[in-house]
Structure 1
Amino acid sequence: MAGAVRTEPLPGEAPLLVPGDPYSVAVLLRGYAEPEGAGEAVRADGTVTLVLPRTWASGSGSRGSPSADRGAKAALEEAARGPVLVDTGGPWVRGALLGALAGQGVAPGDVTLVVGTHGHSDHIGNLGLFPGAALLVSHDFCLPGGLYLPHGLCEEQPLVLGPGLQVWATPGHGGQRDVSVVVEGTTLGTVVVAGDVFERHGDEDSWQALSEDPGVQQRSRKRILGIADVVVPGHGAPFRVVREAEKN
C-alpha cells in the first residue's frame, strides 16, 4: 500500500531563501488573504517568488532579449538563464517588491523571465516593472515588445526551461490555463511554486469556493503533492509535503 501524504508548515519568514543547484528559490513576499469588515470583502495579495540560476551573478546586468529565431523552446531556455520572477503581487506592493528584489541583488532590468501563474490582479499587477523580460502569463508566452510564440504547454507536456526547471499546466483555480513552476535540486528537494492551486497550508475548507473548476483543481493539487517536497502557495507561507513510509 502506498504511504500517506501529509503537509506541515515550513518555519521562517519571508524572504525565505532555499539554495539549490542549478537553481535557488527565494520567496520574496508572502501572500495573504484576510476578511475585512462585516461583509464578504477580502484584503489579499499574492506571493512573489524569485528563481535564481546558480550561474547568474549579481551585477552582471541584462543579457539581451531572447530571440524567436529558433522557436519558443529555445527562447524560454534562453530567458531562464537569468533571474525568473514567479508572480509579481498587486500594484500596491510595488515598493515592497522592488525592495525585496534589491535585497537579493536583483534590479528590475536583470529579470529575464516573469511567469504569471494566472491572470488575477494580485498576481500580475506589476508586470509593467519588467518591460525587458519575456513574459509567460498563464499559457501566453511573449518576448519583449509583444511577440507571442506558440509552445504546446498542456498537462501532459510541461515546458522545460532548464535542468530541473519546468512550468506545469495546473488548471482549476482561475480556469483552464493556470500554471505552476517546478524547481528540482534545492536543499529542501523539489519546490513547486503553485500560485493559487493551493491558497495556503490547510486550505481544505476554503479553496473549492474560490475555484473556477474544483474537480480539475483537485487533480492539479494531487499532481503537485505527488512530486513536491515544498509547496509555495498563493496566499500563505510555504509548507512541506511529508510522505509516510510505504506499508506492505
Structure 2
Amino acid sequence: MSLGVRTEPLRRAPPLLVPGGPYSVAVLLRGYAEPQAVGGAVLADGSVTLVLPQTWGPASSRPGSPPAGDGAEAALEAAARGLILVDTGGPWAREALLAALAGQGVAPGDVALVVGTHGHSDHIGNLGLFPGAALLVSHDFCLPGGRYLPHGLSEGRPLRLGPGLEVWATPGHGGQRDVSVVVAGTALGTVAVVGDVFERDGDEDSWQVLSEDPVAQERSRKRVLSTADLVVPGHGAPFRVIREASQPETTSLENVIQKPRVQDEEPTLHR
C-alpha cells in the first residue's frame, strides 16, 4: 500500500450493515476468486452491496421515473431516494442473490437503481432481475424501458446521487469506463464500493495482470485510498483504510457494524 496507509480486512461474514446518515451500506454477498488446480482456471464471483437511504422502509414506495424532460442528474437523484444495488453477481449466483434480498425483506422490485461497476459477467450477470430499476452500468445510464440519458461523468466530475453519495469514474480494470460508488457519513466514515479497482485486500501481487489499463487503475486505486475509510472490493472481504498520521482508532467495530435487523425508524435491511 501507499506510504502512510495500511489496510485491515473485516472478518465478519455477510450480511453486514454499516449504518449511516443519510445512507447506510450493507454488504449482502462477498465476492471471491479461487484459483483452480487445472489450466489456470479461477472460480469467481463479485461482491453485491446495497446502499440504503435513511428514509427507506418496507412501507416506502420506490420513486417513479422522472418526467421525460428531466436529465440524467435529476433521474439519478430521483432513483437514489430508493434502494441502490451495486453489482449483481454472476448469473450462476441468481438464487443466492434472490435469497440474500428476500432474507432482508427486499424484493427485486424494491430496487430503484442498479449500478454495475464494470461490464464483466461476474458483476452484472443478474441485471434481468431488475427491469423496473434505473441502470448505470459502467458509463451507460438508462431508465426503465431503455431510455438512455447522457451525462458528464469523468474522473474530474463525479455524478452526485444525493448528499454524500457519488458515483466516481475509476478506470483501469475493465478499461476506461469502470465506476465506483462512494458513500460518506457512515459510522466507519467514507465507504467506497469499487468493483475490481481492488480485487481484495493485499492484491498488490495480482491486480496488474488482470487490468486492461494498469496506469489508469493505479491512479484510481490511489484516489480511493486517499478518500475511503472502508473499501468493498470485488473479490474479498471489505477492508478498512488506516492512515498512520491520523489519530488512533477509537471506534469499536462490533458497535458500528451490525447484522441487519428490523427497526421502525432507522435505515436497515429487514428480515
Matched, 1:243 2:243: yes
Query: 2:95 corresponds to which residue?
Result: 95
What amino acid maps onto 2:240 in structure 1? Answer: R
* Structure 1: 5+ residue stretches without partners: none
Show structure 2 runs of 5+ residues with no match. Answer: 247-271
Cross-structure match for 2:253: none
Matched-pair contact (CA < 8 Å) for 1:229–1:240: yes
Q: Secondary structure at the match of 2:209?
A: helix
1:197 aligns with 2:209: no
Secondary structure, counterpart of 2:33 in structure 1:
strand
Name the CA distance, whole Å, in 2 between partners of 1:72 and 1:25: 23
**What corresponds to 1:169 in structure 2?**
169
Equivalenced residues, count: 245
1: CA distance, partners of 2:68 / 2:53: 22
Whether contact under 8 Å (1:160, 1:166) holds in the other structure is yes
Aligned-residue identity in percent: 78
Q: 2:11 maps to what in 1?
A: 11
Paired AA for residue 99 in structure 1: A
Using the size of structure 2 for normalisation, the TM-score is: 0.88
Q: Which residue of 1 aligns with 2:160?
A: 160
Instruction: Provide the rounded CA distance (Å) in 2 between the counterparts of 1:68 and 1:28.
Output: 33
> Is the Cα–Cα contact under 8 Å of residues 68 and 75 in structure 1 kept in the other structure?
no
Tell me how far apart the structure 2 counterparts of residues 221 and 66 of structure 1 sit (CA, whole Å). Answer: 34
Corresponding letter in the other structure for 1:236: G
CA RMSD for the aligned pairs?
A: 1.3
| Cα distance in structure 1, aligned partners of 2:47 and 2:19 | 19
Instruction: Name the SS of the counterpart of 1:74 in structure 2.
Output: helix
Deviation at 1:69?
Answer: 1.9
Alignment correspondent of 1:132? 132
Say whether the 8 Å CA contact 1:65–1:133 is kept in structure 2.
no
Find the residue that maps to 1:191 and give its secondary structure.
Answer: strand
How far has the Cα of 1:245 moved from its partner? Answer: 1.4
Task: Tell me, yes or no, if the aligned pair for 1:66 and 1:75 is still in contact at 8 Å.
Answer: yes
For the 8 Å contact 2:63–2:81, the answer to whether it is kept is no
Secondary structure class of the residue paired with 1:210: coil
- How far residue 3 of structure 1 moved from its aligned partner, in angstroms, is 7.2
